[in-house]
Amino acid sequence: MALILGVLGDSYRRQLRHLSNRAPIDVVIEKVAALSQEFDIRPIGVDFSVGQLASKEGAYLDELKDRLDDLDMAPTVIVGTLNLTADRDLSGPALDDSVENLEVAHRLGSPLGLFYFTYGGRVTREGRIRLATEQISWLARAALSFDMRVTTENFDFFTSDDFIKIFEGVGLENVGLHSDTGNWLMLGEDPLEAIRKMAPYTYHAHVRDYLLRDGVYVSVPIGQGIVDFPPILDELKRVSEQRDRMVLAIEMDMDEGDESDEDQAVRECARHMAHWYTRNVSKEKSPS
C-alpha cells in the first residue's frame, strides 16, 4: 500500500491564469516543492495537465521527469476533456487529443490518465451516459498499450449511479474514478456514502472542502467547511490498501483573493493533511 499526499496544480488557478512568461508547470512544481519541504511530505503527489507543460517533445518530457524524480514528486497527469456532444466535429478532436496525451503521461511516469467532461446541448442524461461510455471505451483501450488506467472526476452532472452504469458499460478493468470529496455535495449526494459506494472504482482522490453561501459552493481550506473529513479520510485510506499507489491530492478553487490568499489556503490544506497523515498513516508504518 502506498498512500501519498499530493496537490492538484489547479489549486493555484487564479495566479496561473495570469502567467505571461513562464510555463504553468514550473510554477506548480516550485510551489509544491516548497510544501513538501515545509511539511516534510515525501514523496509528494502533483496533479497537472498536459496543457500546462512547455512542450510535448521527448527531450523536454525526459528532462521534466528527471526533475520530478529529483524532487521526489509522483506525477498524475490530466490528459484532456471529453466533449459529450453528438457533433463528431466537436467530440472527435477532444478525444483524439486525450488519446495522444496518454503517451505524454506515460513518459512522465503517471500510472493514470485523468480526464474530465464538457457537455454539448440537446443531449439527455441517457444520451450523455451513452456518449461517455463510447468515448471512455476508446480512451481506455488506447491506455492499455501503456499499461495505464484512465479516471474521471465526479463533478456537476453524473451521479454515482451514472458512473457505475458508465464503467460497467465500458467493461474494461483500466477505468475508474478520481473521487472528489467536496464535489459529491454539488451532486446532492452524501460524500461519505458516495465514497463508500464508489470505493471499488476509486484510484485517486481530490480532497477539498466547501461552504454553501447564497447558492454557491465556496472552496475553503480542508476542515473549515461542511465535509465531515475524519470518516471520509478513513474510508479513502481503506481504499488505498487495495491499490499499488493512491494519491490524495488537496485542492482549492477560490473565487476571489490574490496570490498570497491562494498560497495560504493551499498551505492550510497541506498542514491539515500532513497532520492527519502523521497520525493515521506514518504511525502505522513505524516499527513497533
Taking only the tens place, the pLDDT of each residue in 5-25 is 999 999 999 999 999 999 999
- Cα(157)–Cα(84) distance, integer angstroms: 12
- The CA-atom distances, in angstroms, between 118 and each of 83, 86, 92 are 5, 12, 13
Taking only the tens place, the pLDDT of each residue in 201-210 is 999 999 999 9
- Cα(270)–Cα(286) distance, integer angstroms: 21
**Percent of the chain clearing pLDDT 70 (strictly above):** 98
pLDDT confidence of residue 284: 72
Domain boundaries, the chain: 3-285
Whether 36 shows a pLDDT value over 70: the answer reads: yes
Cell of 112: 493514470
Taking only the tens place, the pLDDT of each residue in 125-139 is 999 999 999 999 999
Taking only the tens place, the pLDDT of each residue in 77-122 is 999 999 999 999 999 999 999 999 999 999 999 999 999 999 988 9
For domain 3-285, the CATH class is alpha beta
Please state whether the peptide bond connecting residue 230 to the residue before it is cis, i.e. omega within 30 degrees of 0: no
Cell of 170: 465500458
- Contact 253/218 with Cβ under 8 angstroms? no
pLDDT confidence of residue 208: 98
Beta-carbon neighbour count of residue 123 at 10 Å? 15
Cell of 270: 497541506
- Cα(9)–Cα(26) distance, integer angstroms: 10
Taking only the tens place, the pLDDT of each residue in 231-256 is 999 999 999 999 999 999 999 999 99
Q: Which residues contact 139 (CB under 8 A, 6 or more apart)?
A: 79, 82, 95, 98, 99, 102, 113, 115, 150
Whether 1 shows a pLDDT value over 70: the answer reads: no
- Report which of 254, 278, 274 is spatially closest to residue 265, judged by C-alpha positions: 254
**Percent of the chain clearing pLDDT 90 (strictly above):** 95
Beta-carbon neighbour count of residue 97 at 10 Å? 15
67 burial type by CB count under 10 A (0-12 exposed, 13-18 middle, 19+ buried): middle
pLDDT tier, 285 (very low <50, low <70, confident <90, very high otherwise): low
- Contact 3/246 with Cβ under 8 angstroms? yes
Does this model's pTM top 0.95? My answer is yes
Residue 276 backbone phi and psi in degrees, to 5: -60, -45
Beta-carbon neighbour count of residue 89 at 10 Å? 7
- Per-residue pLDDT averaged across 227-232, rounded? 98
Strands 209-213, 216-220: pairing is antiparallel
pLDDT tier, 159 (very low <50, low <70, confident <90, very high otherwise): very high
Up-side HSE of residue 29: CA atoms within 13 Å toward CB?
Answer: 22
Whether 286 shows a pLDDT value over 60: the answer reads: no
- Contact 123/86 with Cβ under 8 angstroms? yes
- Cα(59)–Cα(178) distance, integer angstroms: 30
- Contact 238/231 with Cβ under 8 angstroms? no
Whether 54 shows a pLDDT value over 50: the answer reads: yes
Mean pLDDT of the chain: 96
